């Protein structure tokens, strides 16, 4: 019981204390950066590793403030510092909550050059919600995340991101630097936010660290180092494989109001950015695989709960998931998806008449379907799905998985005379013919297209390939580069005509 309580507390406060060895390596690196702080602030100091290492490496420091919510950690930090002998600097270690500290007062008491150093808690608001903790900032709608993210329930954020956004703001207008351990994705978001809000950063660097070695955590983590400039800002961040590396692996940055994963590649290929000629789509979202995904057997279909059911074919479609797309969809689809609508919002009551056994099956599992949390299903016809439209039923598609760490576009053709549908982990564009699909896949799988997409993809993201990235490539500009412009133009003419017909189709379905 005591162990469970201890683990819960560790999770709630993201409590992974930094080993002194790592804290020293970080300070040694900061020394090489030329930092000479006279004030140190550790806003979640824990047992004080960073404070001790900073005192060793920066002998000119005369003011140190460390804060932590855990009184036991504060006691341990205090006694470790006492053991160092009479301090040459003024050191205040305080037991306080980051979210209620009067930071302007703390910051006023520290003279420049200031170094904000540390390792904020590694925990997300979703994890805190699960364990019923309120170790959170006041504002529940973090950074005003709204729109589709909030609707689909994706508005999850790291507590450290919130803290780091604050900490980087503290540097504004000062001669100051920040050095923090955090998840690599968090470091990027924090820089993005700082660049977007016009903060002047003189230099930004990310050094990958082996989180499993130091913290036993299987996450992509790094040291983020950022320093301020009182004049013009710089919008690049150099990335290094480790704290010891002196040559960069890549430089990402902020260009044309968004993050670019590789600024050199971007400069080379930015002329290919432009109009979305073929519309990129997401697969169908249903959030209920147990009911909506079935395997075909001799005697019927078996659903995700192992139940053998007898359904009409009308609403069943062969399907591919991300793993099928990534592993080669020349295989036969192993699953079938029950798709009760042809378009978002279509009335589902007609299923009762058209396919009574399917209707009875949906009724029988209505509880599970009604319980789906995402608000996309709210105030929609019962058994609704999302991300469905005429495009879902196109016989030829060129698809990619959003989750796989590979730029590999696959042609998906029909199976058993039915279109193969995709789930919402995949993106695709539609084609009218096999020839067209193979031609578009050839363009998208060309080295130039891959180089172009690579300038935007951050491979450590959970879903590295997004529809926003796919939409950036102007296929016509790419075809021109590859000497295939005329063929594409022919296909595009037919595509545009077909697209107009599809719009008419959608209107007629919703009107019926
Ligand atoms: C990842 S640990 C790192 C500790 C220390 N910075 C280090 O590097 O060893 C995160 C620390 O954040 C502290 N913490 C969590 N929530 C906090 C809050 N709301 N206010 C202040 N400290 C907090 C935890 O107690 C824990 O010591």
Q: Given a cut of 50, is residue 152 above it in pLDDT?
A: no
Q: Are residues 421 and 474 in the same domain?
A: yes
Q: What is the CATH number of the domain that holds 100?
A: 3.40.50.150
Q: Are residues 285 and 246 in the same domain?
A: no
Q: Are residues 407 and 459 in the same domain?
A: yes
Q: Are residues 199 and 235 in the same domain?
A: yes
Q: Which of 229, 260, 291 is the last residue of a domain?
A: 260
Mean pLDDT confidence for 92-113: 96
Residue nearest to atom 16 of ligand 1 (CA): 13
Q: Look at residue 5 and tell me if it is in a domain.
A: no
- Among 30-44, 142-156, 248-262, 362-376, whose mean pLDDT is lowest? 142-156
Q: Given a cut of 50, is residue 153 above it in pLDDT?
A: no
Three-state DSSP state, 260: strand
Q: Look at residue 482 and tell me if it is in a domain.
A: yes
Q: Are residues 17 and 135 in the same domain?
A: yes
Question: What's the confidence (pLDDT) of residue 137?
Answer: 77
Indicate the top mutation candidate among 68, 77, 123, 211 to test ligand 1's pocket, ranked by most ligand atoms within 8 A of CB: 68
Mean pLDDT confidence for 357-369: 96
Backbone angles phi, psi at 364, to 5 degrees: -65, -30
Q: Is the CB of 420 under 6 A from ligand 1?
A: no
Q: Are residues 221 and 316 in the same domain?
A: no
Question: What's the confidence (pLDDT) of residue 457?
Answer: 97
Number of H helices, E strands in the chain: 21, 20
Q: Which of 21, 96, 24 is nearest to 66 (CA)?
A: 96
Mean pLDDT confidence for 204-226: 95
Q: Look at residue 267 and tell me if it is in a domain.
A: no
N-to-C CA span, the chain: 60
* DSSP β-bridge partners for residue 204: 226
Q: Are 444 and 397 in contact (CB under 8 A)?
A: no
Q: Are 193 and 253 in contact (CB under 8 A)?
A: no
Mean pLDDT confidence for 289-311: 95
- Residue 454: band (very low, low, confident or very high) from pLDDT cuts 50, 70, 90: very high
Q: Given a cut of 80, is residue 469 above it in pLDDT?
A: yes
Indicate the top mutation candidate among 42, 103, 118, 121 to test ligand 1's pocket, ranked by most ligand atoms within 8 A of CB: 121
Taking the centre of ligand 1 as the mean of its atom positions, its distance from the CA of residue 167, in whole angstroms, is 14
Query: Domain span at residue 505?
Result: 281-511
Q: Which of 228, 260, 292 is the last residue of a domain?
A: 260
- Residue 421: band (very low, low, confident or very high) from pLDDT cuts 50, 70, 90: very high
- Residue 85: band (very low, low, confident or very high) from pLDDT cuts 50, 70, 90: confident
Which run of H or of E encompasses 500?
A: helix 485-511
- Residue 86: band (very low, low, confident or very high) from pLDDT cuts 50, 70, 90: confident
Q: Is the CB of 215 under 6 A from ligand 1?
A: no
Indicate the top mutation candidate among 10, 11, 14, 43 to test ligand 1's pocket, ranked by most ligand atoms within 8 A of CB: 14
Count up the domains in the chain and report the number: 2
Q: Given a cut of 60, is residue 434 above it in pLDDT?
A: yes
Tell me the CA distances in angstroms from 323 to 353, 399, 408, 454, one per residue in order: 36, 12, 12, 21
Q: Given a cut of 90, is residue 379 above it in pLDDT?
A: no
Q: How far apart are CA 492 and CA 388, in angstroms?
A: 23
Question: What's the confidence (pLDDT) of residue 512?
Answer: 47
Q: How far apart are CA 338 and CA 318, in angstroms?
A: 9
The reply to whether omega before 208 is within 30° of 0 (cis) is: no
Question: What is the β-pairing status of strands 335-338 and 316-320?
Answer: antiparallel
Sheet with 221-228, side-by-side order of all strands = 90-95, 63-68, 39-42, 114-118, 176-183, 221-228, 201-209, 236-240, 250-255, 258-260
Q: Are residues 163 and 300 in the same domain?
A: no
Q: Are 81 and 93 in contact (CB under 8 A)?
A: yes
Q: Look at residue 268 and tell me if it is in a domain.
A: no
Q: Are residues 233 and 339 in the same domain?
A: no
Q: Is the CB of 14 under 6 A from ligand 1?
A: yes
Q: Is the CB of 48 under 6 A from ligand 1?
A: no
Q: Given a cut of 80, is residue 3 above it in pLDDT?
A: no
Q: Look at residue 320 and tell me if it is in a domain.
A: yes
Question: What's the confidence (pLDDT) of residue 95?
Answer: 97
Taking the centre of ligand 1 as the mean of its atom positions, its distance from the CA of residue 75, in whole angstroms, is 14
User: pLDDT exceeding 70 applies to what percent of the chain?
Assistant: 92
Q: Which of 496, 427, 458 is nearest to 275 (CA)?
A: 496
Q: Are residues 40 and 94 in the same domain?
A: yes
Question: In the numeric block, which tokens belong to residue 428?
Answer: 């695709």
C-alpha 365: how far from chain center:
32
Tell me the CA distances in angstroms from 457 to 209, 323, 356, 358, 451, one per residue in order: 20, 19, 46, 41, 10
- Among 6-20, 69-83, 107-121, 387-401, whose mean pLDDT is lowest? 6-20
The residues near 325 (Cβ < 8 Å, ≥ 6 apart) are: 399, 400, 401, 404, 410, 412, 422, 426
Q: Look at residue 266 and tell me if it is in a domain.
A: no
Question: What's the confidence (pLDDT) of residue 210?
Answer: 96
Please give the sequence-ordered ranges of beta strands (E in DSSP) within 262-362, or none if there are none: 281-282, 293-297, 300-303, 308-309, 316-320, 335-338
User: pLDDT exceeding 90 applies to what percent of the chain?
Assistant: 78
Q: What is the mean pLDDT of the chain?
A: 91
Backbone angles phi, psi at 345, to 5 degrees: 90, -5
Q: Are residues 238 and 308 in the same domain?
A: no
Three-state DSSP state, 421: strand
Q: How far apart are CA 366 and CA 237, in angstroms?
A: 50
Q: Given a cut of 50, is residue 141 above it in pLDDT?
A: no
Q: Look at residue 271 and tell me if it is in a domain.
A: no
Q: Are residues 372 and 406 in the same domain?
A: yes
Q: Which of 227, 260, 293 is the last residue of a domain?
A: 260
Please state the atom number of ligand 1 nearest to the C-alpha of residue 121: 10
Q: Which comes out higher in pLDDT, residue 6 or 105? A: 105
Q: Are residues 357 and 391 in the same domain?
A: yes
- Residue 285: band (very low, low, confident or very high) from pLDDT cuts 50, 70, 90: very high
Q: Look at residue 1 and tell me if it is in a domain.
A: no
Q: Are 355 and 312 in contact (CB under 8 A)?
A: yes
């Amino acid at each position: 019981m005591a162990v469970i309580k201890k683990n819960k507390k560790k999770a709630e406060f993201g409590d992974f204390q930094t080993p002194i060895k790592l804290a020293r390596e970080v300070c040694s690196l900061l020394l090489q950066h030329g930092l000479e702080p006279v004030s140190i602030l550790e806003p979640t100091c824990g047992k004080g590793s960073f404070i001790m290492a900073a005192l060793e490496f920066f002998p000119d420091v005369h003011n140190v403030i460390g804060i932590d919510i855990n009184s036991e950690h504060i006691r341990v930090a205090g006694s470790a510092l006492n053991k160092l002998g009479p301090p040459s600097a003024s050191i205040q270690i305080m037991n306080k909550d980051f979210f209620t500290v009067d930071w302007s007062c703390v910051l006023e008491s520290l003279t420049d050059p200031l170094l904000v150093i540390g390792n904020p808690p590694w925990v997300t608001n979703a994890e805190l919600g699960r364990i019923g903790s309120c170790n959170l900032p006041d504002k529940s709608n973090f950074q005003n995340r709204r729109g589709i993210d909030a609707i689909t329930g994706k508005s999850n954020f790291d507590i450290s991101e919130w803290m780091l956004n604050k900490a980087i703001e503290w540097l504004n207008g000062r001669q100051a630097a920040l050095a923090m351990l955090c998840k690599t994705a968090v470091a990027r978001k924090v820089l993005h936010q700082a660049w977007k809000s016009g903060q002047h950063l003189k230099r930004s660097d990310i050094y990958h660290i082996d989180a499993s070695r130091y913290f036993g955590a299987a996450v992509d983590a790094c040291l983020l180092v950022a320093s301020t400039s009182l004049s013009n800002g710089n919008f690049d961040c150099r990335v290094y494989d480790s704290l010891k590396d002196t040559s960069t692996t890549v430089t990402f940055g902020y260009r044309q109001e968004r993050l670019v994963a590789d600024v050199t590649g971007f400069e080379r290929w930015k002329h290919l950015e432009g109009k979305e000629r073929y519309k990129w789509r997401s697969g169908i979202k249903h959030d209920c695989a147990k009911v909506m995904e079935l395997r075909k057997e001799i005697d019927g279909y078996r659903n995700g709960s192992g139940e053998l059911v007898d359904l009409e074919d009308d609403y069943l479609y062969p399907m591919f998931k991300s793993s099928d797309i990534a592993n080669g969809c020349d295989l036969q689809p192993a699953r079938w998806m029950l798709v009760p609508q042809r378009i978002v919002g279509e009335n589902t009551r007609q299923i009762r008449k058209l396919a009574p056994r399917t209707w009875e099956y949906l009724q029988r599992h209505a509880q599970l379907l009604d319980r789906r949390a995402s608000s996309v299903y709210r105030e929609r016809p019962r058994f609704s799905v999302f991300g469905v439209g005429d495009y879902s039923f196109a016989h030829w598609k060129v698809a990619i998985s959003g989750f796989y760490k590979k730029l590999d576009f696959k042609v998906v053709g029909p199976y058993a005379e039915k279109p193969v549908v995709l789930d919402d982990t995949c993106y695709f564009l539609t084609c009218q013919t096999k020839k067209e699909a193979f031609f578009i896949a050839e363009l998208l799988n060309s080295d130039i297209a891959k180089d172009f997409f690579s300038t935007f993809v951050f491979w450590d993201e959970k879903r590295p390939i997004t529809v926003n990235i796919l939409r950036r490539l102007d296929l016509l500009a790419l075809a021109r580069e590859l000497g295939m412009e005329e063929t594409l133009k022919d296909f595009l003419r037919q595509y545009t005509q077909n697209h107009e017909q599809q719009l008419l189709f959608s209107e007629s379905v919703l009107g019926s």
